[in-house]
Structure 1
Amino acid sequence: MDFDLPPELVAYLAELDRFIEATIKPLEESDDNVRFFDHRREWARTDFENGGLPRHDWEELLSRAVKLADEAGYWRFSAPAAYGGKDGSNLWMAVIRDHLAARGLGLHNDLQNEHSIVGNFPFVAMFEAFGTDAQKKEFITGGFDKSRWVAFGLTEPDHGSDATHMETRAVRETRDGVPGWRIDGEKMWTTGMHIATHCATFARTSGEAGAARGISCFLVPSDTPGLKVEEYLWTFNMPTDHPRVSFENCWVPDDALFGPPDNGLAVAQSFVHQNRIRQAASSLGAATYCIEQSVRYARTRKPFGEELARNQAIQFPLVELASQVEMLRLLIRKTAWEMDRLPHKEVEHTLSDRISMCNYWANRLVCQAADRAMQVHGGIGYSRHKPFEHIYRHHRRYRITEGSEEIQMRKVAGYLFGYMGPRRELFRNL
């Protein structure tokens, strides 16, 4: 077994570092753009008088960085070559995301906005697997040229992790001679609706509450009559782009149906696996950053005339975190490598438990590492002059939003005990 990274991947990481230093850093340091990353970051990013939404100048800066990265050939790395990408694999993306997050906060990779000079596009595989030819052309191409932005409307106010009991309904209805669907219901945490052109809206179209079948997905244009953003939910880490959205007598034609009717949850599952492994890698990189910064501080801080690092009370917690980081890094890379060896639709049935292991543990680990970094740094670590409080507040969300860690542990248990997945046959006769 060879655990060395491919030489061409190592070279690509160095190339990305050179691009950051030559192109992205100067932009970050110009026109006081550093205000978005130093102790002023939350105020600079948040329009507190406009529902807590991101300020326009903040989103404009992110767009400028993406444009530079796209022109340099990096942003679309993970996308298929047919869309201007380089067919970047899950393994390469995991390593790249880990590497970029380990550099710390910056315009090169701001995870609060899912922003990076190397973009993450799980929507491409989702549309490739489930979209019609017309939908692929419109939403994949439109996604890259920024003419299309799809929000994700799955979670509901009274039904968070349990999508099977969703109360949003879609019923067949013909209007002006055109067959279609009327949608009524409400969604929560529909991220990005302030800029979205469409909302991928999941609704029950048949079956009983609690059944996995009978749920369908619709691509609802955001200006459709009856679709309304009710409020933006203010969160632990601001700004917010997470609204509550209502659908009342909201009608779409048949061609808005996305994926197989009554099997829309397969569309949702298609999205999460690529996203979870890459997000886990980002959390791993951020945890590494917190540990490394703590080690450096402990070596230079000298209370009572001796390095802080000499104290075992400082050493041992960081040793445990560093050990967990190393073990998790191997699991993430192995899982990403295995994902690359399977057809996209097979990942759910074969590797979903491993992906959940990587994701829930990485998200927990980065919170522990950020908390420990605050403790090691003392008062300055608690302040906003260090990035640890921001890292903690941001990554704490992923223990809930990327599929709560309890739901992901339940998935792992289902595979472990043979209720689902490859081990089902092992326990069939018990």
Structure 2
Amino acid sequence: MLPAEQAQILGSVEAFLAKRLPPAEIRRRDAGHVPPYDLLPEMGELGLFALAVPVAEGGLGADWATVALVQEALGQHAYMAASIFNRVVGFGLASIRAHGTAAQRAEMLPLLMAGRAFCALALTEPQAGSDAAAIRTRATRQAGGWRINGRKTWISDAEGARWLILPARTGPEKEGARGISLFLVPTDAPGIAMTPLPKVGNNCMPSFDIGLQDVALPEEALLGQEGQGFGHLMSTLHYSRASMAATVTGAAEAALRIALDHARTREQFGQPIGRFQAVAHRLVDMRLRVDQSRLMVRHLAQLIDAGAPCRREAAQAKIIATETLRDVADAGMQIMASAGYSAESDMQRLWRDSRLYTFGEGANEVLRDTIAREMGLTARGRA
């Protein structure tokens, strides 16, 4: 049983989702590629974004365990709501709180907590994905600030964001982690061109190719210390990985529920298909995977709340949760057969959306290297 405060928060979340994102509305937005940006102010009014911010900084000061419960609930109901929540909490609030100046925090934290703005992380480039240190976008000093030139790609929710959190090279190095700095780039700055990218799923989280040509920024656009941007990015990765793990655990629970309901009601050979051992055991395995994922998410939340090192556990949680969703959604499609393959099925949306997460937020193969390094098996280096 949840403590009374957590139960109250989750009750508010569930009431909001039932009102604003009923099943028909989720399907409408998915079919029309309509992102959930209009929901942000209401989520802000509920205090959801303020949960992750200490009271001393104007927030509600909830622990990460509570944040993870909210993320799981959002992911179970509608991944689009969870995704935009994570955009604010993981990419925005975590970065600004950790590395922002007093002026940046004073300006941005109230806007982010109120749901009146959010940040998109503009990290990936055509030749730099899992190898984040391979970025080539460059920021050069000019009178009164900086000028940025380069290209970013597969930047989710960029068009709706107020700012891009954008790493660019400021040092003489042409590659590697050294000499990278972070910038807060207003998305309406002259010199920015965005092109939407068609993709298989996650229709309510549009992605963009972004060209930056002589984008002029003031000195105060620098986020954190010059030349320390790569380390700044690595310092908050556990929040974004924990966020994804909790969110996709909720989505996996939804896939299991849909498959289980179908197995109880779909009859073949005179009985519900869930009574056949092959189907029952598949559902049991799905239940095992989802519960294992949830336990890993809870364990990681405890470490975050304790301020303990958790690089390995964050990577583990992300791998376990995203592969759980991928496999559970695939098993659900097999159980439902053509009923799941129908465009009207919620299972097919979970199935196609799930394919992103094992390589989004860090490819799982790279994260396995991270875990190997944390175990002392390979040389230390990348995140």
Output the CA distance in 2 between the equivalents of 1:126 and 1:352. 17
Among 30, 55, 58, which residue is 1:42 paired with?
A: 30
> Is 1:110 aligned to residue 99 of structure 2?
no
- 2:62 maps to what in 1? 88
- 1:101 maps to what in 2? 75
Q: For residues 21-170 of structure 1, what are the structure 2 equivalents within 5 Å?
A: 24-28=17-21, 35-38=24-27, 40-43=28-31, 45-46=32-33, 54=34, 59-60=37-38, 62-63=39-40, 66-67=41-42, 69-82=43-56, 84-102=58-76, 104-105=77-78, 110-111=80-81, 113-115=83-85, 120-170=89-139
Q: For residues 221-260 of structure 1, what are the structure 2 equivalents within 5 Å?
A: 221-229=186-194, 231-237=195-201, 238-239=203-204, 241-260=206-225
- 2:301 maps to what in 1? 336
Alpha-carbon shift at residue 23 of structure 1 (Å): 5.2
Output the CA distance in 2 between the equivalents of 1:12 and 1:223. 40
Among 231, 234, 239, which residue is 1:274 paired with?
A: 239
Name stretches of at least 5 consecutive residues in structure 1 with no aligned partner.
47-53, 422-430
* Partner SS state of residue 140, structure 2: strand
Alpha-carbon shift at residue 146 of structure 1 (Å): 4.7
Alpha-carbon shift at residue 309 of structure 1 (Å): 1.6
Cα separation, partners in 2 of 1:182 and 1:75, compared to 1, 3 Å: closer
Output the CA distance in 1 between the equivalents of 2:235 and 2:117. 19
Q: What is the Cα-based RMSD across aligned positions, in Å? A: 2.7
* Partner SS state of residue 400, structure 1: coil
Say whether the 8 Å CA contact 1:232–1:242 is kept in structure 2. Answer: yes
Alpha-carbon shift at residue 152 of structure 1 (Å): 1.6
Say whether the 8 Å CA contact 1:151–1:190 is kept in structure 2. Answer: yes
Say whether the 8 Å CA contact 1:204–1:214 is kept in structure 2. Answer: yes
> Is 1:19 aligned to residue 8 of structure 2?
no
Q: Which has the larger radius of gyration?
A: 1
> Is 1:416 aligned to residue 380 of structure 2?
no
Q: Percent identity?
A: 28
String of CA shifts for 1:213-256, please: whole Å, max 9, x gaps. Answer: 11011112223332222x11111112452111112222222221
Q: Which stretch of structure 1 is more off in the superposition, 323-332 or 145-154?
A: 145-154
Output the CA distance in 1 between the equivalents of 2:172 and 2:370. 24
Output the CA distance in 2 between the equivalents of 1:301 and 1:36. 26
Name stretches of at least 5 consecutive residues in structure 2 with no aligned partner.
none
Output the CA distance in 2 between the equivalents of 1:222 and 1:23. 29
Alpha-carbon shift at residue 266 of structure 1 (Å): 2.0
Normalising by structure 1, we get a TM-score of 0.80
Cα separation, partners in 2 of 1:218 and 1:284, compared to 1, 3 Å: same
Alpha-carbon shift at residue 100 of structure 1 (Å): 4.2
Q: For residues 187-336 of structure 1, what are the structure 2 equivalents within 5 Å?
A: 187-229=152-194, 231-237=195-201, 238-239=203-204, 241-336=206-301
